[in-house]
Structure 1
Amino acid sequence: MTLEAFADTIVPGEKRHAGDRAVAGADSGGGAVAAGALDLLRDPATGLAPTLDSLVITLNEHAGRYATEHGLEPPDDVPPFVGLSFPDRTALVAELTAPEHPEKAMWVGLALFSNMAFDTGAHLATAEAFQQGHPGLLAIGYARPGPDGLWRFPSFSYGRRLADPHPRTTATGSPA
């Protein structure tokens, strides 16, 4: 729940159900959590997987301190970070990612991967992400593949062809 709440603070989304405590519901549509932030964070390729348990403990310690400093009553039924309101979560994350914070690097890293899950669906093949209705790719208007699963672009991104294809390029676009 703590990692979901952190990811939702970075790229907010709508609650998944009425009792959802991790996702604050600060925005409509799917955010980082719906985009698969936890799957990306847990992926061994990120290098974060072995540190996630420690990050959760440390983030909740910071949330407990933040709550005490701001006269907030910590919840008994959810982890301290999850129990913070969305504005308080945002304020704490801003504090943790500030240039002068000694732990900035690890919190910025966690934020970057949360954002990456939304912006790119890096833990999924792009075609698979579209099949699953990936909210980030849809929100940024990423081009969908054709019915055959291939991407073709009838117009050039710069408004003109930049170069002719190599003469030995195959019909599928592969170099010969």
Structure 2
Amino acid sequence: MTGPDRRTILKALAATLAGLSVGGLDPSASAASASADAASESWTTQTLGAFADTLIPGERRYPGDVVVAGAVAGPGAVQAGAVTLLHSPELPVAPLLPAIAALLDARAVAYAALRLIWLSPSRPPFVGLSFADRTALVGGLFDPDDLDRPIWQVMSLLVGLAFDTAGQQDTVEALGQGHPGLTWLRFPEPDADGLWRFPEFSYGRPLAALHPNTTPSGSPA
């Protein structure tokens, strides 16, 4: 691959995961990024959106949507903000997204050439593939002997975080706004004070006594 090497991309992806794990994103920055994406979907944005939709598919956002393939009913990763999360200027991976998208598009060109699939020059190569071909290509990215496998593993984790946890937003705010992924998964509402408590233990009993020095937030001493 050209551009940033794999080590640089993986370091940025790892730093992105670390940043999300310790506090998420500034909602105002995410909103600005979402607004910019909505105004004009660049080739990078389209390719990343199609990748996210292949992992967690959803219905088309509007008639003629070519990024979201519309393979299923209901919301998918794109509707849940996966591309917004990736593009957030707060995350180290944001400057490297064009290189990652170009890598995926190069794989799409090679995939199409081997199968004599015509790709329209008016859209990114990966977006030009059918959903079935996108799925087959993405499945191959995770082969154990694929050199770029670690990149796609972390990218897929980020896509999952956007859908499963609204990683680009405060969880309480995301629920209040009807976040598509959390709503689809029936994520439980917090108590009135914005905290989650689980009075019923999944095994019918507590697994251990509470440590006396546990903080009020539930953190270990």
Identity %: 48
Specify the alignment match of 2:120 in structure 1: 75
1:16-57: CA deviation from partner (whole Å, max 9, x where unpaired): 111111001112111111111012212356532121010111
Specify the alignment match of 2:129 in structure 1: 84
Higher deviation after alignment, 79-88 or 139-148? 139-148
| Secondary structure of 2:108 counterpart | helix
Alignment match of 1:155 (pick from 191, 200, 204): 200
Check 1:155–1:22 CA distance in 2 against 1; reply closer, same or farther (3 A cut). same
- Segments of 5+ residues of structure 2 without an aligned counterpart are 1-45
8 Å Cα contact 2:59/2:69 also seen in 1: yes
Alignment match of 1:113 (pick from 158, 166, 188): 158
1:96-148: CA deviation from partner (whole Å, max 9, x where unpaired): 22111111111222111111211111111111111221222223332112455
Alignment match of 1:137 (pick from 182, 195, 199): 182
Specify the alignment match of 1:122 in structure 2: 167
| Secondary structure of 1:158 counterpart | coil
Specify the alignment match of 1:10 in structure 2: 55
Rg comparison, structure with higher value: 1
TM-score (structure 2 length as normaliser): 0.69
Specify the alignment match of 1:39 in structure 2: 84
1:51-78: CA deviation from partner (whole Å, max 9, x where unpaired): 1010111211111111111111101321
Higher deviation after alignment, 93-102 or 81-90? 93-102
Q: CA deviation at 1:150?
A: 3.6
Give the 4+ runs in structure 1 shifted more than 4 A.
161-170, 172-175
RMSD: 2.4
TM-score (structure 1 length as normaliser): 0.85
Specify the alignment match of 1:61 in structure 2: 106
- Segments of 5+ residues of structure 1 without an aligned counterpart are none
Matched, 1:94 2:152: no
Matched residue count: 174
Amino acid in the other structure paired with 2:157: L
**Which protein is richer in helix relative to its size?**
2
Q: CA deviation at 1:154?
A: 4.2
Q: CA deviation at 1:169?
A: 8.5
